[in-house]
Amino acid sequence: MTRLPRISDLAGDTEGWGFFLCTYKELRPIRSGELLLFTLQDATGQISAKLFDDIERFKDEFEAGETPEAQFANAIDRLQPVIANHITQGKSWTSHHVRASQVEARCQPITTGAPTLGAYARNLIEDALQRGFLMPD
């Protein structure tokens, strides 16, 4: 299970927290595993077909979010930016004029995958609103 968010991060999972919280998946026509080919090649320029297939399988499982492991991995993956923004007093949020409803919508899978962490995320969002480093709607 711990491989799921790491594979997602390696494969370029930044779209959800990118500029204006928009996605660019539709602009990425190649498979996520292909993005890693260069990085994962050995000294001879070869990559294991099994490793490539494992990466694709983990990435697909993560993105589908259907298994309990994928739901938990999604929760952790989406919680990390909330914590980072809270620690930095909303640096990304304020520079991109992000509103609370945008963060709340992005954080919905946290409650599905880990209800206790979902409550924690809601507390961080509420605190950020009160402290002024997340814009209200």
Within-domain flag for 55: yes
- 4 within 8 A of 69, measured Cβ to Cβ: yes
CATH code, domain carrying 58: 1.10.3210.10
- Can you read off the two tokens belonging to residue 42? 């050995």
Using one digit for the tens of pLDDT, what is the confidence trace for 52-100?
A: 787 788 888 888 889 998 899 889 989 999 999 999 999 999 999 999 9
In whole numbers, what is the pLDDT of the chain averaged over residues?
77
Structural domain containing residue 85 = 3-131
Within-domain flag for 137: no
Within-domain flag for 58: yes
Which residues, at least 6 apart from 113, have a Cβ–Cβ distance to it below 8 Å?
Answer: 65, 68, 70, 71, 72, 73, 74, 75, 76
Can you tell me the distance from the alpha carbon of 63 to that of 73, in angstroms, rounded to the nearest whole number?
A: 10
The residues that bridge with 99 in the sheet, in sequence order, are 135
Within-domain flag for 136: no
Q: At 42, is the pLDDT very low, low, confident or very high (cuts 50, 70, 90)?
A: low
Q: Domains in the chain: how many in total?
A: 1
| Three-class secondary structure of residue 137 per DSSP | coil
Cβ neighbours around 55 below 10 Å, total:
24
Q: Is the pLDDT of residue 134 over 90?
A: yes
